[in-house]
Every structure is written in C-alpha cells, then in structure tokens.
Chain A
C-alpha cells in the first residue's frame, strides 16, 4: 500500500492544505450521503450509519484531527436529517435512534481521534528511525576516518544531508585557542563580532546566538563541540527557525558524535607529537654523544700537537710529524662537518637535484683524486665500458655518494686488497657497483645500515654513522636505489641504480672538422 507516500505528502504544514481538508471532508460526506439516498428505501437507515462511520474512519487515516471531527459531526447530522425517520427533520422519534445517534457521533469522533494519534505516533517513530539511521551512518563514516580534515568533510556532508543548513566548524589550534585560519572552511566568513561569540562559546561551553538565551540577535547559532577531555571547537549554523524538540535531540546527538570524532583525532595528534618528541629526544641524545666524541678526538689532536709545537723545542722531523697530525685531524673534522651538513640538508628536505650532462670518467677521477691518500694502500680497479654514454645526474650528489662508499671501503678493507668500482649503463639506469675485500656486514645488521647514526657493533673506525644514510638519501633524491650484499668470497658489495637520461656520443651532431 502506498501509505508512506500519503503521509509524506499530507503532513506538509501549510494552512491552505488544512482548509482543503475541511472542504474535502464536507464534500466526501455530502457525496456519500447522496449515494446512500437512493438506497435508503431498500436498506435499513442503520446500514447508512455504518457506511458513514466507515467513511469517517477512512478519512482519519489521512486527515488531521479537525477535518475528522467536522466529518463525524457532519455525518451525524446528515444521518439524522436525511435518514432517521421522520426524514428532513432533526427530530428523532425513537429512543433507540437517539441512542444510535449518540453512539454514532462518539464512535466517529473516537475513531478519528485515535487514528490520527496513532498516525502521529507512527510519524514520530518513523522520524526517530530516520534519525537513528542517520546517526548510525554518521558513526560508521566517522569511525573510518583518519585525520581532522576527513572528519570535517564527512561531518559537513552528513549535516547538509539531514538538516537544512551547511555547518561551519571552527576548530582550536591544539593549544586551546580557536584558530581563525587553517582549519576554517574557506568559503564562509564570520564577522569580528560573530567570531568573538564563537570564542565565548568555546570558552564557556554553552550554545549561543540565534534562538538561544545568549547573543540571540545574530543570524547564526553557535554550538560548542564538546568532547570528554578536549573541546575541539565550535559549530556555527544558520537556522531558519528554532529546532522542534525531536530535531533538537537529533542535532545534539549529531554534534556529540562529531565532537567525539574530532576529539579522537585531536588526542591522536597529541599522542603523535608526544611520540615524536620522545623519538627526537632519543635521537638528540645519540647525536650529542656521538658528535661530542667524534669532534673531541680531532680537536684533542690539534690542541695537543699545537701546544707541543708552541711550548717545546722539537727536531724538524718531529715538528713535521706534528704538523701532519694537525692536518689529518682537520681533514677528519671537515669530513664530519660536511656529513652533518649533508644530513641536515636531507632532513630539511632542501635537496634539489640539479641534473646536467656529465662524463662518468670525470666523476670517478674526481672522487679518486679526492681520496688519493686514503686509496693509496689499496688497488682501486675501475671498469667503465667504452660505450659509456653521457648521463644526466647531479654531479655534487653522486660525487658525495661515491666518495662515502669508497671512503667506507678504505676504512674497513685490509690494506693491499682490491677495491672494485664497476660502472655501466643499462636499461635507462646508471649502475655503479663498489665491492671491497673487507669483513662485510653481519647479516642481522643489514636492515639497519642506512639508519642515521647507526654503526656496526665493534667497528673500529670512527665516524658518526651518517655516511650510508646520506648515500641512500642522495640516491633516492635521484629516484634511484642502493642495495648491499655480502660477496660470496669476502667483503661487501654496494649496488647503485640511478635512472638517468643518456646521450650516446655518436648521436651528437658534433659538426666539426680537423
């Protein structure tokens, strides 16, 4: 039965429709009476009363209480006037008919009133069910979200689906101050005084604005978003009229759900910050320990040597040795600072890759030259194919990468062994492989190698443990990757793959003559 549709249409609260209903009830009673008139001869007039009673009851299913009362009164009178003998008078001769008339009127009224009340109840229940469904939907949606922005977008969407307004949420900045920017929706603007009301609502946790007791002269109504531990902010809405009671409860629950979801996100953010602080505290301590150690050694060397040179008389030979110590210590210090600077560049995300064409021979020569003292005790075996094209890379970054890896090799491999560097270009990638004949890496350490300040246990050489994380960072800035493995016989092997454009030298239009 199409009942839903009828209720849906008829309860639109317009006065016009109600007047129509009164008219309709008169017409219906009139028409039914007319239809019954010819039958009055053949049928008992009591049957007519039953028909009228039925019609009135039927009208109660879709009409308001007024028209139904009108219909029952009209029905009673019509029945009396036209059907109860003597006809065409309101006089009732038989006592049973007077009783009948009274009973008819009462039943019609009762029936009408009860049916309308049931219908109202049903309408209420239906609305409650709709609200419950909406709240369930909102809870479900909110539970799936991650992040404040997502909560807000769901809250706004669901609110505009179920209410006749789009809410504006003003959230606090995490320090219990309402924030004008950031999390404010951009499309709406509040005036200064309206914004001050929002702040009042936020501080006093009471609603204010239109249709409330406080600041009721403004257009907007302000509701605090109230969590159990945090007040996430304020919801601002523009109401056309005050909420009916049912709608008010619905809205309150709606706001409570949104507040809880926002509170959850706020608390998660706070927890995240606390975790981060904890982590950075630990990092700071490690950094501090290892930097102070690494800085002290070369500084101690320089101080000691300089002091000795200033205060004692040495043979030229000893003097030379002391100068050399100072020089070595400064190089070590410089390398340390360089790595720290590179690391902070990586951390701050300020690495911009400046690609240009480079001859890989140039790169290898430069690094080998920079490390010539360190590489002296080793056999550096470089292999670059003749067909090696020019590659587009950031020279400075790849230079650092190669420097750090070769330097590491010289720190770990026993002297007079081979350090191999194989360069090739294959499938759009520049490949570089560096292998040494050192002890390699303990297998369980491999996953930690690229972590900042990580150093393999028991490694005898100095350093902050930044070299490899810089390598990884710079390679990744090129969208490349680096892998490490232990060679089958002995030593470690780093493999770098950097995607790079290439320029085959033959393809260049050199247009040159002898």
Chain B
C-alpha cells in the first residue's frame, strides 16, 4: 500500500513554514503550506493530507473555530503548534479534537516524534491481546503485567490506568479524559485519585520512580506514556 505521508502546514509565519518544510521533507514527508485559515480549509479538502499542523493564531479564522471546522469532516490527526502556552488553551484544543499540542518554540525532534505517534494507527491497538513496551509486557486478556519476565501485582484500577495510557503510547491524555475513562464521568474533577494511582503505578513499573520514563507528567494537562 502506498502510504500517504502528506502533511499540511497551516501557519501564517513564513519562517516557521519554511523550517517545517525543511525538517519534514528531510524526513520523507510531502509538505503542503497554507498561510491562512481559508486557504488551509481548501488545501485540506483538495490534498487529503495524512496530518495537519495547525497554528492557533491565524490572521483570518480563530484557531479553535478552525479546529471545529476541520473536525466536521477531517478525521485524520491534527497537531496544534502555537505560541499560546496556557494550560486552558492546550486543554481546550485537545478537547476539541486536536491529537497533540506543541508550543512554539519547539524542538524539531520532538515534533517529529509527535507526528510519528499521531500518524500511528491506534485502531487495532484496542484489539491487541498483549502489549509490549520496552521491558513491560501487558496481557490484556489475563490482566497481568510482566516486567523483565517478572510478574507485577497491580490493582484493577492501576491496571485499567496502565492499559489506557499504554494503548495510547506517546499521546497526551488529559486528566479529565483519563478520569472519565478509568473512574467514570462522576470522577471527572477528582484529580487526587489520579495523582495517587499514578504515584503507585510509578513505584511498581518505573525503574526509577523519581525519574519516570513511562508515566510522563504533562504539567497541568495530563499524562503521556513514554516511548
């Protein structure tokens, strides 16, 4: 199958677009550039990109509005790349269907990693019977977790939490999303539970719980399972 590696960049800053074009082309992506929201919407419909990198501060259309418009029919990944770095902005972008969020200034390496994660097809992850991440092996059917062939005892909540994060490896999941998925809707504001279980889980699965590499904190936003 001929893999679609077209990336659409919607950003009004020429220098950013140029830098992204250089970086992405060097890594085998085909790049299309749009310098404003209207153009971006047309290009998205014309070229069917595999991923969109969207700036929130466009001259013509508000970023969140843009996200809403795109999400009406565009179901492939969207990564937000913006100077807006407040937690509220990030969370609301994620809530409105962005797959990931990177603030400018950014490191190219990090952007490439996020693009890889976003483009990974997560659909069949849910059907997987076992998940192997580094030294960790999660058996979905028997609800067991092995690290270095050694069984780790997890409570059922810890296991659900680990599965949720591991299935979305590399993706940032917001506090509210995790709480809703693992504990249920009524727990959506009970971040204290999440903190306690993340700390417990780290003690069990991390090599060094004070320098976590698997359960990574995205401060003020949520957690991401490391790669």
Contacts and interface: CB of A to CB of B under 8 A. Distances in A.
B193 A508 contact: yes
B156 A366 contact: no
Interface in A423-468: none
A513 B156 contact: yes
Contact of A512 (B87, B153, B156): B156
Contacts of A356: 175, 191, 220
A503 B196 CA distance: 10
A399 B198 contact: no
Main secondary structure of the interface of B (DSSP, over half): helix
B217 A512 contact: no
Interface string B183-227: 000000001110110110000000001111000010110000000
Interface in A337-389: 354, 356-359, 361-366, 368-369, 382
A356 B155 CA distance: 25
Nearest to A341: B85
Contacts of B209: 361
A157 to B, nearest CB: 47
Nearest to A372: B211
A365 B217 contact: yes
A361 B105 contact: no
B157 interface: yes
Nearest to B198: A359
B181 to A, nearest CB: 16
B49 to A, nearest CB: 29
Most chain B beta-carbon contacts within 10 A, residue among A334, A368, A382, A395: A395
Given A396-B220, A512-B155, A359 B87 contact: no
Interface string B143-160: 000000000011111100
Contact of A365 (B153, B192, B212): B212
A114 interface: no
Given A330-B105, A395-B220, A365 B210 contact: yes
Nearest to A370: B219
Contact of B219 (A382, A396, A510): A396
Contacts of A170: none
A512 B193 CA distance: 11
Contacts, number: 63
A510 B220 contact: no
B196 A508 contact: yes
B192 A362 contact: no
Interface in B50-104: 87-88
A419 to B, nearest CB: 16
B195 A396 contact: no
B156 A396 contact: no
Nearest to A356: B191
B57 to A, nearest CB: 15
A245 B203 CA distance: 92
A314 B156 CA distance: 58
A358 B209 CA distance: 16
Contacts of A368: 211
Contacts of A508: 192-193, 196
A89 to B, nearest CB: 113
Contacts of B87: 354, 396
A513 B160 CA distance: 12
A505 B196 CA distance: 7
A48 interface: no
Contact of A510 (B196, B199, B210): B196
Given A362-B217, A365-B212, A390 B155 contact: no
Contact of A357 (B155, B195, B217): B195
Nearest to B157: A512
Interface string A492-509: 000000000001010010
A120 B105 CA distance: 89
A365 B195 contact: no
A362 B211 contact: no
A489 interface: no
Contacts of B192: 357, 390, 503, 508
A392 to B, nearest CB: 9
Contacts of B157: 510, 512
B196 A365 contact: no
Interface in A116-147: none
A96 interface: no
Contacts of A399: 219
A514 interface: yes
Contact of A513 (B105, B155, B217): B155
Contacts of B155: 512-514
Nearest to B158: A512
Nearest to B86: A396
Contacts of B193: 508, 510
Nearest to A358: B195
Nearest to A345: B86
A390 B195 contact: yes
Nearest to A389: B192
A366 B156 CA distance: 28
A508 B156 CA distance: 17
Contacts of B217: 362, 365-366
Contacts of B212: 365
13 contacts: A357-B191, A357-B192, A357-B195, A361-B199, A362-B195, A364-B210, A366-B219, A369-B211, A382-B210, A390-B196, A395-B219, A505-B196, A510-B193
Interface of A: 330, 334, 354, 356-359, 361-366, 368-369, 382, 390, 395-396, 399, 503, 505, 508, 510, 512-514
- Leading 4 A-B pairs by shortest Cβ distance: A357-B192, A512-B155, A359-B195, A357-B191
Given A382-B210, A513-B156, 13 more contacts: A354-B87, A354-B220, A356-B175, A357-B191, A361-B199, A395-B219, A396-B219, A503-B192, A508-B193, A510-B196, A512-B157, A514-B153, A514-B154
